[in-house]
Amino acid sequence: MSNFAQLAVALMDLTSLNNDDTSHSIESLVASIEPQLGTPAAICVFSQFVAHAKIALAARGLSQVNVATVTNFPTGDDSLSHVINETLIAIERGADEIDLVIPYKALLNGDEQSVLEYVRESKKVCAEKATLKVIIESGILQTEALITRATELAIEGGADFVKTSTGKVAINATLQSASYILKTINKTNKSVGFKAAGGVKTVADASEYLALGNKIMGEDYLQAETFRFGASSLLDDVYKQLCV
């Protein structure tokens, strides 16, 4: 299990996206990292805390840890112009990664073009400046057909990663939805990553996703450039396992 723990921490987006977040709570999040036990791939925070997270990481000699933020979050209901403005500001603040929520309600209503446009326009802004991770909210889409189609649209629009969930709805990451996403990515033969978010709380949880990723995509896929976990409590369990 310790091998899974070591891998899980290296693939983690250590996340705090709470309405009561403060500069102090973001400092505490950064302080929770124990480099001798492993460092996460990224810290994911609201845009207003991006610069603060960068400074806190640098102060600890952890500048290699990326800082991610979210756009169109969590409902997917913002106008495209607002989302683009959000993205521009986040990048100006130093965000290395943008986690965009697609307008998934539009997709439920058969509007594929809106999904494609949000992803495509966000990708134009990110360009070479930031990684674009696209959240499809698989727990709302639910069906294989809709999850597959959302993944296809995300990839067509230029997504660097397809992410399951916001973590803010009743059903978040599941192994079934992960399987649909990974199989769709695999069929494209494109270098697109996968991120499971919401509900991955233990090393045991993470190990199931790692096994699934290995089965569908191969062992080489299990690296931070192509495989991530969005988590807040997973780090605690990882460190417990590594301290045993």
The radius of gyration of the chain's CA atoms, rounded to the nearest angstrom, is 17
Alpha carbons 41 and 45: distance in angstroms, whole number? 13
With tokens 């805390």, the residue in question is 49
**8 Å CB contact between 169 and 203:** no
CB atoms within 10 A of CB 194: 26
Which DSSP string do the residues of 146-182 spell out, in sequence order?
HHHHHHHHHHHHT-SEEE---S-SSS---HHHHHHHH
From the candidates 13, 163, 205, 237, which is the catalytic residue? 163
| Catalytic site includes residue 195 | yes
From the candidates 13, 96, 99, 237, which is the catalytic residue? 99
Alpha carbons 27 and 120: distance in angstroms, whole number? 33
| Catalytic site includes residue 163 | yes
Question: Backbone phi, then psi, for 51, in 5-degree steps?
Answer: -60, -40
From the candidates 96, 195, 205, 237, which is the catalytic residue? 195
**Residue positions annotated with a catalytic role:** 99, 163, 195
